[in-house]
């Protein structure tokens, strides 16, 4: 294992710190980022998370006040310790309060398949505890080992070793499914599903069925998410002056189509999403490192924003 693994981005304030790390090169294509967090929210907030074609899991170092559920139904949100968030075709919301102390890992679909050893359709559009997948003892031991490490670089090295051992020995996606997923994300969804089926040697119907079983989403949905992530990346990190310009540059036919996808996948309009991303959030996110220019490999892809808790049922 590389003993030189280190923090590639660090942000501190009076309320705590965030530490970012690019995983070991041997995890390329499987693990996109590590984020260490130790900070305290001054008041309860809701984290709005857009639809995702990647899998997130959190390793809590101590109990945390968190309720997770669909964006539109606050009453249905439930408490989850060390949550694993599967691929999603709709937005979700995470209510959080108090101290957040632990690590977040973002996995590609092949990485999640190898690490958890199950078809991703089993955790799609839902959030389960890490203990429900790894087992209570294994999840507890992992959290304890990481929490006891002296600093973030040491934790990231431990996590590298753990994931290399599990992922390198884990099950793989079927080659046609992996190829289709790689093409959809690499091209930001700019590929016709029929042409993709021809490329991998399957019928369109068979590709849709096997892809949904293994990934948990249809190829078309993954394409829509990847295209919107590309648009959000362009708007945040380039000099495009408007959402209309961004829509055109991202391959949308027109802004109404862009607005429709944006609302469906984030739960809000482009202008309100930007308003929810506060100056506090922006200052913390600005130091996140990038692994490439493509949003699926972007450390700090713009997939969330903060807002006040809602009283709606």
**Reduced to 3 states, what is the DSSP secondary structure of residue 264?**
helix
Q: Give start and end residues of each alpha helix (H) in 149-190.
A: 152-168, 175-186
| Structure confidence by residue, pLDDT tens digits, 142-197 | 999 999 999 999 999 999 999 999 999 999 999 999 999 999 999 999 999 999 99
Q: How confident is the model at residue 293 (pLDDT cuts 50, 70, 90)?
A: very low
Token pair in block for residue 58: 């959190």
Main-chain phi, psi angles of 175, to 5 degrees:
-55, -45
The pLDDT of residue 143 is: 96
Q: Is the pLDDT of residue 296 over 60?
A: no
Q: Is 276 strand, coil or helix?
A: helix
Beta-carbon neighbour count of residue 89 at 10 Å? Answer: 19
Segment 185-213 mean pLDDT? 96
Residue 302 has pLDDT above 90, yes or no: no
Q: Does the pLDDT value for residue 26 go beyond 70?
A: yes
- The most confident of the ranges 44-58, 78-92, 191-205 is 191-205
Q: What is the pLDDT, as a whole number, of residue 13?
A: 66
> Tokens 């408007």 belong to which residue?
242
Residue 52 DSSP label: B
CA distance 81 to 96: 12
pLDDT, mean of residues 93-100 = 86
C-alpha distances (whole Å) from 296 to each of 94, 122, 271 are 22, 22, 23
């Amino acid at each position: 294992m590389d003993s030189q693994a280190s923090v590639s981005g660090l942000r501190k304030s009076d309320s705590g710190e965030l530490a970012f790390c690019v995983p070991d090169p041997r995890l390329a294509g499987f693990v996109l980022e590590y984020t260490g967090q130790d900070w305290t929210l001054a008041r309860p907030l809701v984290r709005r998370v857009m639809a995702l074609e990647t899998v997130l899991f959190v390793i809590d170092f101590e109990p945390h006040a968190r309720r997770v559920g669909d964006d539109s139904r606050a009453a249905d949100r439930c408490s989850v310790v060390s949550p694993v968030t599967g691929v999603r075709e709709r937005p979700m919301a995470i209510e959080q309060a108090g101290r957040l102390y632990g690590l977040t890992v973002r996995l590609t679909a092949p990485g999640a398949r190898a690490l958890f050893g199950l078809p991703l359709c089993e955790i799609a559009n839902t959030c389960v505890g890490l203990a429900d997948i790894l087992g209570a003892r294994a999840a507890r031991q992992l959290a304890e080992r990481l929490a006891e490490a002296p600093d973030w670089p040491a934790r990231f090295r431990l996590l590298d070793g753990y994931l290399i051992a599990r992922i390198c020995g884990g099950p793989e996606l079927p080659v046609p499914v992996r190829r289709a997923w790689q093409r959809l994300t690499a091209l930001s969804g700019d590929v016709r599903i029929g042409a993709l089926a021809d490329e991998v040697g399957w019928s369109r119907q068979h590709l849709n069925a096997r892809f949904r079983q293994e990934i948990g989403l249809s190829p078309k949905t993954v394409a829509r998410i990847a295209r919107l992530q590309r648009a959000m990346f362009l708007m945040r990190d380039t000099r495009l002056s408007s959402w209309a310009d961004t829509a055109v540059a991202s391959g949308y036919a027109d802004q109404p189509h862009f607005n429709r996808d944006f609302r469906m996948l984030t739960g809000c309009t482009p202008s309100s999403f930007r308003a929810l991303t506060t100056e506090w959030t922006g200052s913390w996110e600005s130091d996140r490192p990038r692994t490439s220019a493509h949003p699926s490999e972007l450390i700090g892809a713009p997939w969330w924003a903060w807002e006040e808790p809602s009283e709606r049922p």
